[in-house]
Structure 1
Amino acid sequence: MRQLLLATGIAVALTACGGRTENAETDAQPATGAAPTTLADVELIPREALFGNPERAGVQLSPDGQYLSWIAPVDGTMNVWVAPASDPSAAKAVTQDTARGIRSYFWTYKPGVLLYLRDTGGDEDFHLFAVDVVAGGEARDLTPFPKTTAQVVGVSHRQPDTLLVGMNDRDAQWHDLYKVDLASGERTLVEQNTDQIAGYIADADYALRYASRSRPDGGMDVLRRNGDAWEKQDDIPFEDVLTTALAGLTEDGKTLYMSDSRERNTAALYAIDTATGDKTLIHQDPRADVGGSLTDPRTGTVQAVSVNYLREEWTTLDDAIKADLAKLEAIGPGEVSINSRTLDDQHWLVAYSAAESPVKYYRYDRGEAGAEGTLTELFSGRPALDGKPLVPMWPLELKSRDGMTLVSYLTLPRHADANNDGKADAPVPMVLLVHGGPWARDGYGYSSMDQWLANRGYAVLSVNFRGSTGFGKDFTNAGNGEWAGKMHDDLIDAVQWAVDSGVTTSDKVAIMGGSYGGYATLVGLTFTPDTFACGVDIVGPANLNTLLSTVPPYWASFYEQLTKRMGDPRTEAGKAWLTERSPLTRADAITRPLLIGQGANDPRVKQAESDQIVEAMTAKNIPVTYVLFPDEGHGFHRPENNKAFNAVAEGFLETCLGGRSQPIGEEFKGSSITVPTGADGVPGLADALKSHTQDVRK
């Protein structure tokens, strides 16, 4: 059974719109033709090519191999398309969304039936819809209840007509578990969640086998099913919760996989005999946690695992796919992912990309008896970027002031690195791009944001500061209690490295990021007000007390994690810490230009977070430009809104750092952009707003 436990835990708590050692080996290819010597020599890449709708995304094969599917625009809105696997040119749209569009979908084992998730205006109340591509007709909402966030727990080829879904319509904090009929939409209660279960593991016949439950001390209990009740089987201490988790059962239910950092630092993958409890080490790496895995679609046995330190590295465990993976690795120096595998495992849908190469999709037909198969290129995700002056991303290992290794990534403008060696020929302005979470990480790969900023003349530096995940529990836990403390020191140390290395100069550095990265931006302008020339905050919290008092109710399972890693607003000491580490408390220290972007429906970082800092600055006559989208949430999902905000940010950064910008022009068309405050702070913004007709689509 495919375990589809949606990521609703602490690891994505504040992640949103936004990974890169000196002299590290890289597979970046040298640019062809004469190397540009000035920014003007480099072709300006249109924002539409970078941030507009991709031509195709999320390409998959159905489990029976009959259909090829993808997400692509219909009249400018992303919808699901389906074609016979033998004839991609015969594709037809099978959904009819005209508003936010569809961003994720997957096939069931019922022939011709797929599912997709959709929220309203970015509120993250994701409903689950079913589409029968054979029978046709409109999509069916399988979770038609208000204020409900669906969690898909299991899909099994042994139960092709049903699936397991968690729904929180009875209790907003906890998801009850249901079996849902794909044809009728009828739901049957499997378990009412009165035990505060955070996540379930069921076998291929939908029998409940394991579960996890958070504890008041921030740790986690691993539970095993015994008849109709749960009994505690294992204990995960607080310090291991972000790096230890159940990872699924094999088809026969005899093996439980677990990612585990207990009695070690980095998370290793183990196989546990469900009958005896014997535990076998499958793979480990002292540098980083075990991350991704490939499992046999028929047996659920893990066949390969990945570890991502500087770059993702795969290790094959099953010789049956060794030739296949070797064939895929030969596509190029970038990174390969397998989007889907048919149930008979004869056909794979493969995606390939590199930092300077947007995604391309391939069909892979496996060979006989372990021989390599046949690879057929299907589509480019963004053909508009073919031939454009995209640039490499360079992995780095930087050192913090107290000796910690900070895996980071540097992207340089093409004209600033003529010999393509990852070292700046002369200093250029730089954007410190801070990831969200903070319990997440930056990594190598294609990034429209990095390419956009580099094309506009800026070096881009992204830093995995302490508290980031993926590098072992010690590194993650080193961030506990260090918001606006050592986590911020790491960012400052990285900036100093860039100045000392000749990447940039100390007066030409901006800080920018989304979610926690937005918070880091506000911290940069309030706690270290002379370090950055300006800042761009996207959906970042300004007041940590109000942040923790307004989290979504279904975050209850990891709320204690939040309070122990930050501060507890239920105690006087916790309130004091949260107040002291809140940028709002130091708003009057801001002296550098600030651009804020916010979604009005953000369920994680409420609009009030941005409103508070804007009001505080306005009251003290401190200039700020505030961009608000009424049909967005935690980040800007609609391409029209994303392009609109980036058009504003581009002009803002040009004024601050002196790069270049593409005029706003018609970039607001189709967007819902509003600018409650500070339109005069960005060249051309006020005029563009005068001629703009707002288009709100939820």
Structure 2
Amino acid sequence: MTQRTLIPRKLLFGNPTRAMARLSPDGRYLSYLAPLEGVLNLWVAPTDDPSAAKPITQEHVRNIRFYEWAYTSRHLLYMQDANGDENWHVICVDVESGESRDLTPLEGVNAYISALSHLLPEEVLISINNRVPQLHDLYRVNLLTGERTLILENPGFADLVTDKHFAVRLAIAPQADGSFDVLQPNEQGSWSLWTRIPHEDSATTQPYGFSADGNTLYLADSRGRNTSALFAIDMRNNAQRLIAADARADLSKVVVHPTENRPQAAGFTYDVLRWQILDPALADDFTYLQSVSGGELEIVSRTTDDSRWIVAYSLDDAPARFYLYDRTAKQAHFLFSNRPELENVPLSKMHPIIIPARDGLPLVSYLSLPKGSDTQQPGKPDSPLPMVLLVHGGPWWRDFWGYNPYHQLLADRGYAVLSVNFRGSTGFGKAFTNAGDGEWAGKMHEDLLDAVEWAIQQGIAQRDKVAIMGGSYGGYATLVGLTFTPEVFACGVDIVGPSNLITLLESVPPYWQPMIAMMRKRIGDETTPEGRAFLEARSPLSRADQIKRPLLIAQGANDPRVKQAESDQIVRAMQEKGIPVTYVLYPDEGHGFAREVNTLSFVALSEAFLSAHLGGAYEPLGDDLSNSSAQIVTGAEGVPNLPAAR
């Protein structure tokens, strides 16, 4: 291969320079995430002087990944766990004094922010499973004192819906058949049935919230139709009104008025995001903002008086760009891009394509190619390339168009990269999602095989040089690829993927129990002999002796979703059969990688591994492995130059 300059993996996978820009509700402050000694922390500046930003948190180990402004406009709330265990704490920081307070100072519990309201600016609703691990009770917490007041002791609900006065208005109660009953509190202090969501609509029907006056519920609903649409329901008489719909895609985003809490725009993503403007007052704003930059536009923050917004533009071949928008002047001012060091780097385009499955089901997919490899026809290489099939997790999730660091790195290393929304993915209507029920290692895998064959027939991929790679469900799909169809893929990279569907379902986090009936309906039932036989037949562990191609596995030791045992047991089964495998364990990670040093180390291992089996380029390991917590449990010889690096 001709020597060329590779894009350093740290530019693609290192922490962003700045990210998640937000405005305080009163507009005085601009906040964002940025590194402090290599860890993403919260920074705050006067909105009119972004250069004066200062860090207001002091996280030294794990990045802050989620945060929100409280309506006091002087408190920020963020969540943090320990070593990936997902026992989240909710932390409150006073941006003026710098003082921080753990609002959930409890060990071994999972807490999350349920609601904030401009009507109750000094309080927050937090759900905590401190009483019963399987259920989250609802608390009202004072930001100034930390005092917690129990609002509702959860008798078995999967979720609660509150209004802007923090009154519990609806409860989502799971049923044994995978459906959900939606209940209302009644005058007797109990609950009455309001409506039912059948299992077939459970992934595509959910409340979005109440209007400020509490009289109208906004609901994404697929009942009586295929795709979920946005409806308004008058809670006084149950009159229902359709607000926005798309024939091909489910409702994916809603722009809501900052105080009135009514939808003003609805987003639907089939191949790319498309907006429907619902409030004429926003029409001129959208028209102007769509002229400011290319890419997908999203309003990510608004002041309470709606005079200032932060808007973000997501592109496939450039970093995300953030602008401060003055609504009165109709003027957008550039703030920053999240990775300015990529602004002049030659990144690859991501091409949306529709691939037909063998039964005709359209699979919305995304293809990236090495820069300059498609000189004759955009999106088709001049000659077939080695290819990586990159499978998304969930599986009740989807791939999107836009900047994807794996697509960029792999394309830069000389590979075609294909991501496929196989049946079972969400966003394309309930029929598409429900087509995945009972099809793990079945038709869901056939969709991936059909996409690979399509790429070969189109002259995109070389048949003998296709790798499969993914995390979570994508890791499972990788294991399925190498066990159920051992001749198709040249190698596989599995990140926190389950190997045994029985043990996966038996070991889910306790707070997933309200959703377990739905999971059994979609995956299989581990509580019956017939169900266990089915799940065993669909588990890669039962076919570990069929593996013929190289496999790299990564696992977080503290993963609460896919336990370490899922990786341990397939590695052990392979070793008992004398089948080589490279297994990397991260003692300070959970379901994926949160620490920059660990992300970089595994990307380094992955690109070296793929190079050995597909022939692409790779950046030398350097210090990325030694800087991380990675433990090579077995198979160091499976990655080029790995023994020397350790």
TM-score with structure 2 length normalisation?
0.99
Q: Determine the structure 2 residue equivalent to 1:274.
A: 235
SS state of the match for residue 653, structure 1? helix
- 1:569 lines up with 2:531 in the alignment: no
SS state of the match for residue 148, structure 1? coil
Q: Determine the structure 2 residue equivalent to 1:141.
A: 102
Structure 1 contact 130–142 (Cα < 8 Å) conserved: yes
- 1:509 lines up with 2:466 in the alignment: yes
Residues in 1 aligned to 2:324 and 2:586: alpha-carbon distance in whole angstroms: 39
Q: Determine the structure 2 residue equivalent to 1:16.
A: none
Q: Of the candidates 179, 183, 191, which is equivalent to residue 223 of structure 1? A: 183
Q: Determine the structure 1 residue equivalent to 2:86.
A: 124
SS state of the match for residue 157, structure 1? coil
Q: Of the candidates 572, 583, 590, which is equivalent to residue 615 of structure 1? A: 572
Q: Determine the structure 2 residue equivalent to 1:245.
A: 206
Q: Determine the structure 1 residue equivalent to 2:63.
A: 101
Q: Determine the structure 2 residue equivalent to 1:422.
A: 379
Q: Determine the structure 2 residue equivalent to 1:7.
A: none
Aligned partner of 2:170: which letter?
Y
Q: Determine the structure 1 residue equivalent to 2:12.
A: 50
Residues in 1 aligned to 2:462 and 2:336: alpha-carbon distance in whole angstroms: 41
Q: Determine the structure 1 residue equivalent to 2:592.
A: 635
Q: Determine the structure 1 residue equivalent to 2:633.
A: 676
Q: Per-residue CA shift, 1:220-241, capped at 9, x if unaligned? A: 0111222332211001111110
Count of residues in Structure 1 that have an aligned counterpart in Structure 2: 645
Residues in 1 aligned to 2:167 and 2:622: alpha-carbon distance in whole angstroms: 57
- 1:82 lines up with 2:39 in the alignment: no
Aligned partner of 1:218: which letter?
G
SS state of the match for residue 200, structure 1? strand
SS state of the match for residue 670, structure 1? coil
Residues in 2 aligned to 1:39 and 1:338: alpha-carbon distance in whole angstroms: 44
SS state of the match for residue 358, structure 1? coil
Deviation at 1:40, TM superposition (A): 4.2
Q: Of the candidates 437, 440, 453, which is equivalent to residue 496 of structure 1? A: 453
Q: Determine the structure 2 residue equivalent to 1:284.
A: 245
Aligned partner of 1:51: which letter?
F
Residues in 2 aligned to 1:605 and 1:54: alpha-carbon distance in whole angstroms: 27
SS state of the match for residue 649, structure 1? helix
Deviation at 1:207, TM superposition (A): 1.4
Q: Determine the structure 2 residue equivalent to 1:407.
A: 364
Q: 1:293-308 alignment to 2 at 5 Å?
A: 293-308=254-269
Q: Determine the structure 2 residue equivalent to 1:521.
A: 478
Q: Per-residue CA shift, 1:230-270, capped at 9, x if unaligned? A: 21100111111001111100111111011111111111110
> RMSD of the TM alignment (CA)?
1.1
Structure 2 contact 296–315 (Cα < 8 Å) conserved: yes
Aligned partner of 2:492: which letter?
G
Unaligned runs of 5+ in 2: none
Q: Determine the structure 2 residue equivalent to 1:25.
A: none
Structure 2 contact 626–645 (Cα < 8 Å) conserved: no
Structure 1 contact 39–415 (Cα < 8 Å) conserved: no
Deviation at 1:214, TM superposition (A): 0.7
Q: 1:81-480 alignment to 2 at 5 Å?
A: 81-137=43-99, 139-194=100-155, 196-227=156-187, 228-367=189-328, 373-419=330-376, 421-480=378-437
Unaligned runs of 5+ in 1: 1-37, 690-698
Residues in 2 aligned to 1:560 and 1:635: alpha-carbon distance in whole angstroms: 25
Residues in 2 aligned to 1:307 and 1:40: alpha-carbon distance in whole angstroms: 43
SS state of the match for residue 558, structure 1? helix
Residues in 1 aligned to 2:603 and 2:150: alpha-carbon distance in whole angstroms: 46
Structure 1 contact 416–428 (Cα < 8 Å) conserved: no
Deviation at 1:420, TM superposition (A): 6.2
TM-score with structure 1 length normalisation?
0.91
Q: Determine the structure 2 residue equivalent to 1:657.
A: 614
Structure 2 contact 486–548 (Cα < 8 Å) conserved: yes
Whose relative contact order is higher, 1 or 2, with alpha carbons under 8 Å and at least 6 apart? 1
Q: Please, which moves more after superposition, 411-420 or 579-588?
A: 411-420
Q: Determine the structure 2 residue equivalent to 1:23.
A: none
Residues in 2 aligned to 1:516 and 1:203: alpha-carbon distance in whole angstroms: 35
Structure 1 contact 600–630 (Cα < 8 Å) conserved: yes
